[in-house]
Chain A
Amino acid sequence: MLIELKNITKEYDNGGVVTKVLKGISLSVKEGEFLAIMGPSGSGKSTLMHIIGFLDRATSGTYLFDNEDIKDFNDDELAYIRNERIGFVFQSFNLLARTSVLDNVILPLTYSKKKDHINLATKALEAVGLGNRLSFLSNQISGGQKQRVAIARALVCDPKVIFADEPTGNLDSKSGNTVMYILGRLNNEGRTIILVTHDRNVAEHANRIITIKDGEIISDEHNLNSRKSQMIEDDQDIELK
Chain B
Amino acid sequence: MRILFKNINVEIKNLISRKARSFLTILGIIIGVSGVIVIISLGAGAQALVLGQITKLGTNIIGILPGKSDETGPPAAIFGVQIKTLVEADVEAIRNKTRVPHAIDIVSVVRGNVTITSGDQSIDTTFTATDGSYVRVQNVEMDHGVFFSDEEGRAAANVIVLGYDVAEQLFPNGGELGEIVKLKNNSNSFGSIPFRVIGVQEKLGTIAFQNQDDQVFIPFKIGQRQILGIDYMQFVRIRTDTPENVKTTIIDIEGVLREQHRIKNVADDDFVVRDLADAIKILTNITDALRMFLGLMAGISLIVGGIGIMNIMLVTVSERTREIGLRKALGATSHQIRNQFLLEAVILTGVGGIFGIIIGIMISYLIALGARYAGYDWSFVISPLAIILAVFVSSLTGIIFGLFPAMKAAKLNPIDALRYE
> Contact residues of A with B, CB < 8 Å?
50, 53, 55-56, 75-76, 79-80, 82-84, 88, 90, 94, 96, 98-99, 103, 107-108, 110-112, 153, 157
Please indicate the chain A residues that have their CB under 8 angstroms from the CB of B7 in the complex.
110
| Interchain CB contact under 8 A, A108 and B330 | yes
A153: contacting residue among B330, B333, B336, CB under 8 A: B330
Bound-complex Cα distance A14 to B418 (A): 19
Bound-complex Cα distance A112 to B327 (A): 12
Q: Which residue of A lies closest to B328 (CB)?
A: A79
Q: Number of B interface residues, CB 8 Å? A: 23
| Interchain CB contact under 8 A, B10 and A82 | no
With an 8 A cutoff between CB atoms, is B105 at the interface?
no
Given contacts A56-B414, A108-B331, A110-B3, 8 further A-B pairs with CB under 8 A are: A50-B415, A55-B329, A79-B328, A82-B331, A94-B322, A94-B418, A99-B13, A111-B330
Please indicate the chain B residues that have their CB under 8 angstroms from the CB of A111 in the complex.
3, 327, 330-333, 336
B18 to chain A, nearest CB (A): 8
Bound-complex Cα distance A127 to B169 (A): 91
With an 8 A cutoff between CB atoms, is B97 at the interface?
no
With an 8 A cutoff between CB atoms, is B121 at the interface?
no
With an 8 A cutoff between CB atoms, is B6 at the interface?
yes
Please indicate the chain A residues that have their CB under 8 angstroms from the CB of B326 in the complex.
94, 96
| Interchain CB contact under 8 A, A98 and B17 | yes
Mark each residue of chain B from 149 to 176: 1 if its CB lies under 8 Å from any CB of chain A, else 0: 0000000000000000000000000000
A88: contacting residue among B323, B329, B332, B336, CB under 8 A: B329
User: From residue 323 to 343 of chain B, which have CB atoms closer than 8 A to chain A?
Assistant: 323, 326-336
| Interchain CB contact under 8 A, A56 and B3 | no
Please indicate the chain B residues that have their CB under 8 angstroms from the CB of A153 in the complex.
330
Bound-complex Cα distance A50 to B414 (A): 10
| Interchain CB contact under 8 A, A79 and B418 | no
| Interchain CB contact under 8 A, A55 and B414 | yes
Contact flag A76-B333 (CB < 8 Å), given A82-B328, A94-B322: yes
Q: Which residue of B lies closest to A51 (CB)?
A: B415
A13 to chain B, nearest CB (A): 14
| Interchain CB contact under 8 A, A80 and B331 | yes
A216 to chain B, nearest CB (A): 21
| Interchain CB contact under 8 A, A84 and B331 | yes
User: From residue 379 to 421 of chain B, which have CB atoms closer than 8 A to chain A?
Assistant: 413-415, 418
28 residue pairs bridging A and B, Cβ less than 8 Å apart: A50-B415, A53-B329, A55-B329, A55-B414, A55-B415, A56-B413, A75-B333, A76-B333, A76-B334, A76-B335, A79-B331, A79-B334, A80-B331, A82-B328, A90-B418, A94-B322, A99-B13, A103-B10, A103-B13, A108-B331, A110-B3, A110-B6, A110-B7, A111-B3, A111-B327, A111-B331, A112-B331, A153-B330
Please indicate the chain B residues that have their CB under 8 angstroms from the CB of A55 in the complex.
328-329, 414-415, 418
B329: contacting residue among A82, A110, A112, CB under 8 A: A82
Bound-complex Cα distance A155 to B387 (A): 49
Bound-complex Cα distance A223 to B335 (A): 43
Q: Which residue of A lies closest to B413 (CB)?
A: A56
Bound-complex Cα distance A107 to B336 (A): 13
Q: Which residue of A lies closest to B332 (CB)?
A: A111
| Interchain CB contact under 8 A, A157 and B331 | yes
Please indicate the chain A residues that have their CB under 8 angstroms from the CB of B330 in the complex.
82-83, 88, 107-108, 111, 153
Please indicate the chain B residues that have their CB under 8 angstroms from the CB of A94 in the complex.
322, 326, 418
A167 to chain B, nearest CB (A): 15
A149 to chain B, nearest CB (A): 13
